[in-house]
Structure 1
Amino acid sequence: MPQDETAPNPAWPHGDAEWQRVSPSYAWADLIVNLALVIGAGLVIGIIILTNAGEQPLVPLLILSAVVLLLLVNALFAFRRVRAIGYILREDDLLFRRGIMFERIVAVPYGRLQLVDVTRGPLLRALGLATLKFVTASAATGVQLPGLRVAEAEALRDRLVALAETRRSGL
């Protein structure tokens, strides 16, 4: 029987804590951005091939088929990608995860937080969502928690700033 990804796994250091999920609405933003990239790449490749292909009518049909296939695959995975994003507030750090095949789990210690930023582009604003960005003492961290409801993002930002102040490490 497959293990539910939201079920606690005693092997992980978070014990019985449950992953907090981002809004399912974020899947639409993810889908739109990725579709735009696929369509843009398909158009550029199509123009290059058409200008160099001569009189081969099959080439545009093959390009169109490849772009449609990529769009379908992207659409199928968009909702699963968003379901894989989650976070846990632990006693001393925030645990963040994302990824389907290549899962990334990052622990951000509260005492190392230097900046917690809420950003909202036009697409996220239209969906009522925001992205929470963390800047730490490590340049490699680069943690972004996308797809949070605005009120949730602002409340989480305020809580993380308060936690960071109480656990400030020497830098």
Structure 2
Amino acid sequence: MTNRLDLPEITWHRVSPRYIVVDVVGGLVFALIVVGAGAAVAYFTGLTWLWIVVAAVALVFVIALALTPRRVRSIGYQLRDDDVLFRRGILYQRFVAVPYGRMQLVDINRGPLDRALGLSELKFVTAAAATGVVIPGLAEADAEELRDRLVALAESRRAGL
């Protein structure tokens, strides 16, 4: 018996491996701020036990950063006949199917590090807030092509064609 979420018949489109750099740098900057602030508090208060908490938080960040390549490889999408299927996650997997006719907004975002690496983030939303989907780490040309295709499919489905 196969798990329905395994979806063996689906070939997933993956995000760019360069997105690992974006995710690691973002996580590293956040980790340095949090651990640095904790270390400053521990230093100025002189509480020895607080250093143990700072070390534990640093260890959690190291583990999270080590899992980043696997987490990025788990992100994928598939254009099907009536909807786009999106997945992400290792331990807690999320699968979202968004019907083309329900899409209201398809947007492309590029942060500074994304632009430097030639990547984009594609975001599409429906009227239901829970189905907002963000596909990070797409090559700029792929993101623009996917946006145009999704908009065309959404328009044709809403028009009933």
| Residues 13 and 167 of structure 1, relative CA distance in 2, 3 Å threshold | farther
Task: Indicate the SS of the match to 1:160.
Answer: helix
Contact 1:10–1:16, Cα closer than 8 Å, also in 2: no
Q: Is the 8 A contact 2:35 2:58 kept in 1?
A: no
Quick one: distance in 2 between partners of 1:101 and 1:13?
A: 14
Deviates more, 1:68-77 or 1:120-129: 68-77
Structure 2 residue 31 is matched with structure 1 residue 41: no
Greater share of helix: 2
Moved over 3 A (4+): 9-15, 62-68
Q: Find out whether 1:22 has 2:5 as its counterpart.
A: no
Report if aligned partners of 1:112, 1:169 keep a CA contact under 8 Å in 2. Answer: no
Q: Please, what is the CA RMSD of the aligned residues?
A: 2.4
- 1:14 and 1:92 map into 2 onto residues whose CA distance is 16
Could you tell me which residue of structure 2 aligns to residue 100 of structure 1?
Answer: 90
2:111 matched residue in structure 1: 121
Structure 2 alignment gaps of length 5 or more: none
Q: Tell me the distance in 2 between the aligned counterparts of 1:50 and 1:89.
A: 53
Distance in 2 separating the partners of 1:114 and 1:167? 12
In the alignment, which residue of structure 2 is the partner of 1:80? Answer: 70
Q: How many residues align structurally?
A: 159
Please tell me the residue identity of whatever aligns with 2:146. Answer: L
Residues 59-70 of structure 1 correspond to what in structure 2 (within 5 A)? 62=52, 65-66=55-56, 69-70=59-60
**Distance in 1, Cα, partners of 2:116 & 2:149:** 25
Are 1:154 and 2:144 counterparts?
Answer: yes
Report SS of the residue matched to 2:67.
helix
| Superposed displacement of residue 135, structure 1 | 1.7
Deviations along 1:116-144, one digit per CA (max 9) or x if unpaired, are 00110101001110000012111122210
Cα deviation for residue 35 of structure 1 reads 1.1
Deviation of residue 68 (structure 1)? 5.0
Normalising to structure 1: TM-score of the pair?
A: 0.83
Q: Given that residues 84 and 97 in structure 1 are in contact (C-alpha distance below 8 angstroms), is that contact kept between their aligned partners in structure 2?
A: yes
Paired AA for residue 90 in structure 1: R
